[in-house]
Amino acid sequence: MSDLWVGDNLSDVKVKNRSLVLRLLKKKGPLSRIDLARITGLTQPTITNIVNDLLSANLLQEVGVSDTKAGRKPILLSMNDQAFYIIAINFTRRGFSVALCDLGPTILFRRDSSYSLLENTEIALLELQKEFIHVLEYATQSLRLILGIGISVPGPVDADSCTILAHPTFLKHRSLDLRFYLREYDLPIFMMPDADAACLHETWSGEAREAQNMVYFMVGEGVGAGILIDGKIYRGHHRQGGEIGHTSINLFGPRCVCGNYGCLESYCSIPNVLKKAQEATWFAESSYLKDISSQRGIEFHHLLEGAKMGDSTSLQILNQLGQYIGVGVVNLINLYDPEMVIIGGEAALAQEFIAGTVDQVLEERLLYREYINPRLRYSRWGRDVALLGAASIVLDHFIAGELGRF
């Protein structure tokens, strides 16, 4: 039996056991009381007491009966995702989003802002406070049920102090403590780098609910990795690990903003992919892309639409994207030997056009390709994964019993 699901019958560990039951139902539910006792090793009376307490707290709900062939059919339980709510904030390189989420987490209401409409950092932060208030106004009837604020950010952060150490776009100064701007709302605040938050989200609601060793490879505005080792997010000694985007794949490649040369991010981040698409229009390589460019800027969805229509340039650019992503996946597998790799971020939307190329790169380049075969999956959350990841940060602390709500 895995220690992950083993509980304790001592009376002074009620919170631990309630946390265990909630985590189990969230990741494996719906389950019956008998299932919970069998998996955790807790006695049936202990499970009954825990379930009754959680039902009384509105954290669980009965959702039908088990499909057994004989005898009394056990009642199935699941977590009640509407028991509490979370405010999620995601900073990107182009703007930020503030959302009210349930425990799914599912986005119930959101507000988005673009930095291009803002003059400077202070105005951007005032805009953040304004959008935050809009979300609170939407949640007026449920304010007492808000557990906390989760924040996901690109670039280096100090998660313990909720400080953005350096933002790649709009923060001209360093070490921005967001608690200063959100302190008046008297809510717990938690922060993670966006790739870590996305990785965490996949462990609660995505492909990796039962994974213990997994890498989430985020390819979007930037390139990074969230790394799960023995069921916990790995950050490294200085808590800045996972920067796969700033590993060099070409010693003589272009200079990256980080100071390195030939960084992976310089080849497969979505802005650089779109730059290649724009360059293709200069040489009239695609009438489709040239028409798009003349009307408005080329976005990633335009490449996907072009590929679906058979535009050869769009297909070629996505194929090259798949090659670079494949190289990144090979590097991550060789480094961490995970049971699963999830390709996420905006690039995952191109799965139908890049999956074959990625598989081919793994077949050709992976060190132990004849002996290991980690599962390769594509995230289904698209651009919203980091925002949902911000909600998952709070969810993770809540289910661990750290917020005093059960």
Kindly report the number of other CB atoms within 10 A of residue 41's CB atom.
Answer: 14
**Whether pLDDT at 8 is above 90:** no
pLDDT tens per residue, range 356-398: 999 999 999 999 888 888 899 999 998 899 999 999 999 999 9
**Whether pLDDT at 285 is above 60:** yes
Task: Compute the average pLDDT of residues 114-142.
Answer: 84
Least confident span in 19-28, 156-165, 376-385: 156-165
Residue 240 CA to chain centroid, in angstroms? 17
Task: Supply the pLDDT for residue 141.
Answer: 82
Torsion, CA 333, CA 335, CA 339, CA 344, rounded to 10 = -60
Q: What is 357-406 written as a DSSP string?
A: HHHHHHHHH-TTTTT---EEEE-S-GGGHHHHHHHHHHHHHHHTT-SS--
pLDDT tens per residue, range 307-337: 999 999 999 999 999 999 999 999 999 999 9
Banded pLDDT at 12 (limits 50, 70, 90)? low
> What is the average pLDDT value for the chain, to the nearest integer?
91
Work out the percent of the chain whose per-residue pLDDT is above 70: 94
Map out the domains of the chain with their CATH numbers.
Answer: 3-79 (1.10.10.10), 85-200+386-399 (3.30.420.40), 210-380 (3.30.420.40)
pLDDT tens per residue, range 50-86: 999 999 999 999 998 887 766 688 999 999 999 999 9
**Whether pLDDT at 7 is above 80:** no
Q: Which two tokens stand for residue 250?
A: 């070409």
